[in-house]
Structure 1
């Protein structure tokens, strides 16, 4: 049985990730600043901005999955978001590397591309957006994710620790599907996230596979469902909301995602299986 520490296990995505690892015979510890609503495993109350506490909670772990963060832009002063997200991730990777932990997975975001929280009306340069698309955030949340990915590169170069940075689409837990009828016919809603979504259960599988897959080095992967969260075809969504975008890197003939997930599928042998249409009455 392998030992994995999951930070932020008390948050939105955490319970699904904890369950995924438990169901695959891992011993799991949740490191968070609060206890979860449902106790699935041992929780250690940990301030991840304190390097000493991070060393303590990671001692004896074989892998670490880092979910904890201030999860959106502008919920806190910019410097608070930046300092929390950057230093907690630095501490996790620094401690893990020095403790000899070989595998880490961190939560990055589609927000790093800059479109999500843009106040200047930033548009994608091309779609579907893949991992090579420029990252141009205007705020500290997206910037923190870029810094974290660079920290991952640094620790891999220094320690050889595999670090997979998950550029997550909009995370949706099963109970949130009840909200979909409120927006699936309105293209203006959710346009800044390119109508992306990822079911917590599919994301959890990707996190586990990122721990179990060898030879990845330091790599960033888009994690999104195969379709958009809309009941409008993807080409029409783009024509309606981003008419100036003319660079289509693949034919859009249906509801396919505009956050390209092919790299994650290939490297992790992963496939998202939960589609909102299976849970929402149209």
Structure 2
């Protein structure tokens, strides 16, 4: 492990808990993933010193330090939280099995929850000032249920209870609970971000094309989406928000991933769902207003360039 730019005093040492000022050291797990690969250079470009972690060798030119190891390894996590001899200022925990079906269901649950526990509880124990972690709209329970379930109301806000019957959705609800636990136990602010499908470039184009060809295929995900660059901006907004306590936020684009009007989609695929607020045009069925209000987060990237979906 190389230690570049060692400093005896971290810039974030005197900052209020929950706020990560320029020059702070931020540990990013899952740094080679879809979101992590964009988060690392974005945070580095925003004036933060990034320690990038993933379980397989990877390149991360904008990171100050790259560490390779498994977040289920307690000793490795402890080492990663003190890469320069003292605790990092903040943690961004993105490492996880990213979708169901990659490993057996019990392993999805075990890996995601154990990794979250070791990183978030370890961060609190070490005295890290705040932690941000990736959750998923799968925590609501619709996306990977294996059968059609509908939200009781839309727009879906964070108060809506989980009805998860799949191990991935359950792993995300438990990851959120681990965050709340770390806040109660150590007083460390934790912010969990519920992401929908995240992508840009070819990944996003392929996703939009699938939905264009079969709009029903995305009904359980409520046609929610987010540009990867906006996901990175949401992480930065959470790190610099100054919020204390534990929080869970929906982070989704304000529109859907289809050119079919939202009212038509809901009438066709979720006819028993109650409409609590108007959803005009292509408005997303996910309510991200809490993130706008408390994090100051607004998306900047859209896909609607005249290419519609059937």
TM-score range normalised by the length of the shorter chain:
over 0.9
Instruction: Note the 1:27-46 alignment, pairs <5 A.
Output: 27-36=49-58, 39-41=61-63, 42-46=65-69
SS at match of 1:49: coil
2:43 is equivalent to residue 48 of structure 1 = no
SS at match of 1:166: strand
Which residue pairs with 1:61 in the alignment?
88
Aligned residues between the structures = 280
**Matched residues in 2 for 1:146 and 1:281: separation?**
36
2:177 is equivalent to residue 154 of structure 1 = no
SS at match of 1:29: strand
Task: Show CA shifts across 1:211-266 (max 9, x none).
Answer: 11113310100010010000111001111111222x11111221011111001111
Instruction: Note the 1:156-175 alignment, pairs <5 A.
Output: 156-175=183-202
- CA shift at 1:185, angstroms? 5.9
Which residue pairs with 1:201 in the alignment?
229
Alignment root-mean-square deviation, CA: 1.4
Instruction: Note the 1:229-268 alignment, pairs <5 A.
Output: 229-245=257-273, 247-268=274-295
TM-score by length of 2: 0.87
Contact 2:52 2:60 in 1 (8 A): no
Which residue pairs with 1:22 in the alignment?
44
- CA shift at 1:128, angstroms? 1.2
- Bigger mean CA offset, 175-184 vs 4-13: 175-184
Task: Show CA shifts across 1:179-213 (max 9, x none).
Answer: 22342363202111000101111111110111111
Kindly name which structure, 1 or 2, has the bigger radius of gyration based on alpha carbons: 2
Instruction: Note the 1:107-126 alignment, pairs <5 A.
Output: 107-126=134-153
Runs of 4+ aligned residues of structure 1 deviating over 4 Å after TM superposition are none
**Matched residues in 2 for 1:38 and 1:144: separation?**
28
2:114 is equivalent to residue 92 of structure 1 = no
**Matched residues in 2 for 1:38 and 1:99: separation?**
25
TM-score by length of 1: 0.95
**Matched residues in 1 for 2:284 and 2:253: separation?**
7
Structure 2 residue runs of 5 or longer lacking an equivalent are 1-22
**Matched residues in 2 for 1:154 and 1:84: separation?**
18
Contact 1:169 1:197 in 2 (8 A): yes
**Matched residues in 1 for 2:134 and 2:73: separation?**
19
